[in-house]
Amino acid sequence: MKDLVIVGGGPAGITAAIYAARKKLDFAMVSIMLGGQAAWSGEIENYTGFQVMTGPELVEKFKEHLEKFKFDNLQGVEVKKIEKADGGFRVVLTKGEPLLGKTVIVASGKRPRMLGVPGENKFRNKGVMICATCDGPMFADKQVAVVGGGNSALDAALQMIRIASKVYLVNVNKELTGDAVMIEKLKSAANLEILNSTKTLEIVGDKFVKALKVEQGGKSRELSVEGVFVEIGLIPNSQVIDFVDKNELGEIEINCAAETSCPGVFAAGDVASVPEKQIIIAAGDGAKACLSAFRYLSRH
């Protein structure tokens, strides 16, 4: 049985692992993909110490730091369930033997929320995309739509106005809700059209996406696009654990020490009930969660 099992490999999980290694804990980290959502980000201008850096560049720095330490690092592995076990907890994986830990840090992040409109599933990865950083270059000099009005949508739009010939920003709300500095940058883009109070109806095409049907002011309209980037928010990956308190959004409830309602289980990053979802906040909460886990182990 390990001292600690860290579920998730984003900024929260990676930082928790660095702190666990420095505390000389016997621990394991399991993740589908190192870097998590941070790897999808475009330009990051608010991570202390780096004026401007892309998400993939920052994740590479995280990996370099992590590689200085030796521990059980299970990558490309999905967690099926976290269960209570004698003396601790059992982390059941979709493949391989379960991991046993005296403590657990849940840093499993969030997954993209989808639109739920006709054509979305049919054209997934055939024009319907969820990562402008990863897939944006495929749409060079083409027309695309970004659906959403928050920071993730604005970030995607900022990336795509440099790549695509035309970008439609389709926002169901009356106004964009992201950071003012990002909105100001977008307003000066000649190849961007912002469609507020606009509902997405259907994604159409043949083998690949050809158009996006929307409704604005009671009138339907068809946007000729080859790419649709869905950026309408995220759902917490908290379904892996069912014996801790969660809020109405499904986020794991934590206190200021990253403690959950179950002693020995801690949570950090976007899966937890922190008020803001930022890379730097996730990293800080990962450090906090590990220090709290270490304190728990010392007292029990």
Amino acid at 106: V
| Both structure tokens of 95 | 């493949």
Contact assessment for residue 179 and residue 155, using Cβ atoms and an 8 Å cutoff: no
Provide the 3-class DSSP secondary structure of residue 288: helix
Of 130, 109, 105, the C-alpha closest to 120 is: 130
Residue 155 CA to residue 179 CA, distance in Å, equals 10
Strands 79-85 and 99-106: unpaired
Out of 131, 270, 285, 290, the active site residue is: 131
Helix (H) or strand (E) holding 159: helix 151-160
Active-site residue, selected from the candidate residues 26, 72, 86, 135: 135
**Which one of the listed residues 26, 72, 134, 245 is annotated catalytic?**
134
Q: Helices 55-66 and 11-22 meet at what angle, rounded to 10?
A: 20
Of 236, 217, 159, 218, the C-alpha closest to 192 is 159
Kindly report the backbone phi and psi dihedral angles of residue 104, in degrees, each rounded to the nearest multiple of 5, phi listed first. Answer: -135, 140
Any catalytic annotation for residue 131? yes
Q: How far is CA 297 from CA 104, 107, 181, 191, in A?
A: 11, 19, 44, 56
Residue with tokens 């996006």: 212
**Residue 135 appears among annotated catalytic residues:** yes
| Helix ranges (DSSP H) in the chain | 11-22, 55-66, 132-135, 151-160, 180-187, 279-299
Written as one letter, the residue type at 280 is: I
What residues contact 110, with CB distance under 8 A and at least 6 apart?
A: 37, 234, 235, 236, 237, 270, 271, 277
242 catalytically annotated = no
Q: Hey, how many other C-beta atoms are within 10 angstroms of the C-beta on 173?
A: 12
Residues with a catalytic annotation lie at 131, 134-135
